[in-house]
Structure 1
Amino acid sequence: MPGSSANSFLRSLCMLRWLAIAGQAATVLVASELLDLDLPLGPLWSGIGVLVTFNLYASVQVHRRRSEASNGTAFAHLLVDIVVLTWMLGWSGGIHNPFGLMFLILIALAALALPRGWALAAAMACLIGYLLSGLIGRPLEGHHNPYALIVSGIAASFLISAMVVLYFSTRLAADLRSRERELAALRERFTRNEGIVALATHAAAMAHELNTPLATMTLLADEIAAEVKTDDLRADVALLGQLLALCRERIRNLAVPTEVDLVREVSQWRLVRPTIDLHRTGELPTALRVEPAISHLIQALLNNAADAGEAAGHPRVDLHLEYCDGALDGEVRDHGGGFDPDHSLLPTTSLFNSDKPSGLGVGLALSHATVEQLGGKMTMAPADGGGTRIRFHLPLAYLATRGTGTTL
């Protein structure tokens, strides 16, 4: 349904149908009581009653519906309005009734909201209904000036038609703009995900290629450690061995993803960035194991925060992690120069597009994609005193944890 969903169309029909019921009831009362027209009140009120009953049923069904309604269902609802309008016109003047123009409203609604085939079917049903009302209808009697009555009815029909078309077309235009924004976001997300898949494929290939040279470097580091004599060199070689072990562990995890110890992963980050002053708060279970993607998320945020702080001359990062009620809440705060408030939105789609001279442009984009994939939330805001705060909330109810809480 172009510009609107079938459910939105049905909701609009229900709202417009209540207005039509009120208008029909008022018209019957005015024509019979004030204008003294000879109208068959029984058939007319029965038609209004049928429309009230059907609209109650339609309103309940629309609010209870969880899936998208079909175009056939929308056409069937519109067909009920056509049949009732035919019935009402047939008992109140037929083709001589100026409110026969209401068929044009139903055709316009179908053309705006239904596909071409269903819109043509609705137009054909309206044409048949108009012809039937003309065949079975009888002229209105009891009014001293039939011409003035018809002119008044045409004017009222025009005003009603103008208001209905304006309301419905405005609502459909708003739905169309909303749908276009959703499609644009989906297209951008698809483009980003394509880039992530390509990056993951390349990372897997590089992990396979780097495994051998890292093993050789580890052996060389062990040999050097056996030959060094001074304590300073021995400490440096020990640090080199830890870094090589960390690299090999990361590469093995790329090839065969396994859950990782989050507390240990956070502690190991200091080996990678020893010049950064890391302030950690919050409590985590001592053996909290999470998906590798969560570890990559935290490391990417820490690296971005460290880069921002170093660029501003404040190499400090504040990290808060808390596991509570089956969810991981975290915050990473840097002490850099902050960001432009006019561009404060997270880069949900920009991949390989970095503001840093030596950046690859994948950190925040991959982080946001990870949070999105895990069903979490991520926000970015300026920090008091300068810098940026990035908060995230990840549901981890599926994880089984062991041990007692430990302060980071």
Structure 2
Amino acid sequence: MSVEPTAPTTRHLGHIARLVSLRWLSIGVMLAIALGAEPLFGIRVPLVPVLIVSAALGAWNLLARRATLENGRWHVLLELLIDLAAWTSFLYLTGGATNPLISLLLPLIAVGAAVLPAAQTWLLSLLAVGAYTWLWNHHLPLGLQDPAQAVHWHLAGMWVTFALSAAVVTWYVSRMTQAMRLRDQALAEAREKRLRSERILAMANLAAGAAHEMGTPLATMKLLVDGLRSGDNPAQADEDLALMSQQIGHCREILTRLAEAGGRPRPESARRTALGPWLDALINTLRTQRPDLRVSRTQADATADLIADTALDQAMRNLINNAASAAPDTPVDISTTCHGELLQVRIADRGAGMPAAVLATLNAPESRRHLPSEGLGIGLMLSISAIEQLGGSLEYTPRHGGGTIATVTLPTASP
């Protein structure tokens, strides 16, 4: 059996904030009638009581602005009941059911129907009907200096009431619709991240299993290479065998990291590091795989700190390696900048570049889930996941003069 929570969510706070804004309009209408009815239209209203009702509603509105998640789930209904009580008091002082402004109780019910559960909406409706019925026989009559104008002013009041009702309903419903669109967008983004995380987890488990299976063949190769190195070989052969042994060792290190990382929560490997030494270590590690790697560095703030882990390290090495493969004959340009609490690392190449349609696909979150699970697709998906897990983002842009720029944005580490 599900139990409804007793505390409102942030959605209820949004409703209360809109009601607070709407209530200032109600107070403005009450004050306008109290201060302008007699000098402008010759309609006498009890000024002091109306001002007291308006002031009391304004004071409550200032308190309602301080609503927090600790308020009960009935708070939205309470706010609407306060409005109903205030308007009932105002209408009692200004003609009761004969005042055309009594129709302003309808927008109050419409707002309640949009934000309240069914039971609370019916309660509000019944109380509003009861207030209307009570005002039919209990009210202070309006004092008209010219009774012959009563019908004219009543029709004018009906027009004003219709205009106010239309404005209130349009404003409130449009604000609610906008809030719902933002909520749906946030839900869609959360769903997208969950699907991507599930796909990454499946690949991580597959990688961990593959790492274990490849361990034995690599160990056999290492034994064979070491055996060959122990024989009487030409100098060139010894150099080649040494390189093979080094690369096999590097492969075994990669497989070990894969096996350890498979299924393990990433925060365990997170660490605080300075931007400059971190990039130096990434480039040095990558040079063991491709000795011909050339890098041009431009660094604005090498002392800035960030939070990195093994997955982010691998993602950055993949991006640098992709840039080097795009233009092997030119250096990879890496520049870093720091903007407040954000670090940006730009990895630029002088390759052939990417078509605009491909760039749009790579930069659109809704399209990334459909990248192919091989080649650039899987590598890019893993890189994006690693960067976003640490609160960052990845964006591809064309480079002036040819090539592509991969911009990685990461938060700086808290002091």
| TM-score, length basis structure 2 | 0.81
Q: CA deviation at 1:324?
A: 11
Deviations 1:168-215 (A, max 9, x none): 222222222222222222222211111011111111111222222222
8 Å CA contact 1:322–1:328 kept in 2: the answer is yes
Equivalent-residue separation in structure 1 for 2:102 and 2:218 (angstroms): 84
Is 1:156 aligned to residue 174 of structure 2?
Answer: no
Matched length:
385
Find 2:37's aligned residue among 25, 31, 38: 31
8 Å CA contact 1:90–1:137 kept in 2: the answer is yes
Q: CA deviation at 1:309?
A: 3.0
Change over 3 Å in CA distance of 1:84–1:284 after alignment to 2: closer
Equivalent-residue separation in structure 1 for 2:210 and 2:386 (angstroms): 21
Find 1:292's aligned residue among 280, 301, 310: 310
Q: CA deviation at 1:55?
A: 1.6
Deviations 1:242-261 (A, max 9, x none): 11111111222223355799
Alignment partner, residue 119 of structure 1? 121
8 Å CA contact 2:334–2:348 kept in 1: the answer is yes
Alignment partner, residue 339 of structure 1? 354
Q: Which letter does structure 1 place at the counterpart of 2:386?
A: T
Change over 3 Å in CA distance of 1:69–1:182 after alignment to 2: farther
Is 1:241 aligned to residue 245 of structure 2?
Answer: yes
8 Å CA contact 2:27–2:54 kept in 1: the answer is yes
- Higher RCO structure (Cα 8 Å, ≥6 apart): 1
**Unaligned segments of structure 1, at least 5 residues:** 400-408
Alignment partner, residue 41 of structure 1? 47
Q: Which letter does structure 1 place at the counterpart of 2:380?
A: L
Deviations 1:137-156 (A, max 9, x none): 24323341322222111111
Q: CA deviation at 1:57?
A: 2.1
Find 2:287's aligned residue among 258, 270, 274: 270
Q: CA deviation at 1:317?
A: 2.6
8 Å CA contact 2:95–2:140 kept in 1: the answer is yes
Alignment partner, residue 361 of structure 1? 377
Alignment partner, residue 173 of structure 1? 177
Q: CA deviation at 1:289?
A: 10
8 Å CA contact 2:307–2:412 kept in 1: the answer is no
Percent identity between the aligned chains?
31
More deviation, 196-205/256-265: 256-265
The SS at the match of 2:320 is helix
More deviation, 158-167/248-257: 248-257
Equivalent-residue separation in structure 1 for 2:302 and 2:257 (angstroms): 22
Alignment partner, residue 266 of structure 2? none
- Give 1:84-103 correspondences, 5 Å limit: 84-103=86-105
Q: Which letter does structure 2 place at the counterpart of 1:144?
A: P
Alignment partner, residue 319 of structure 1? 334
**Unaligned segments of structure 2, at least 5 residues:** 1-9, 262-268, 272-276
Find 1:380's aligned residue among 385, 396, 400: 396
Change over 3 Å in CA distance of 1:42–1:329 after alignment to 2: closer
| TM-score, length basis structure 1 | 0.83
Q: Which letter does structure 1 place at the counterpart of 2:108?
A: L
The SS at the match of 1:272 is coil
8 Å CA contact 2:307–2:390 kept in 1: the answer is no
Q: Which letter does structure 2 place at the counterpart of 1:338?
A: G
The SS at the match of 2:143 is coil
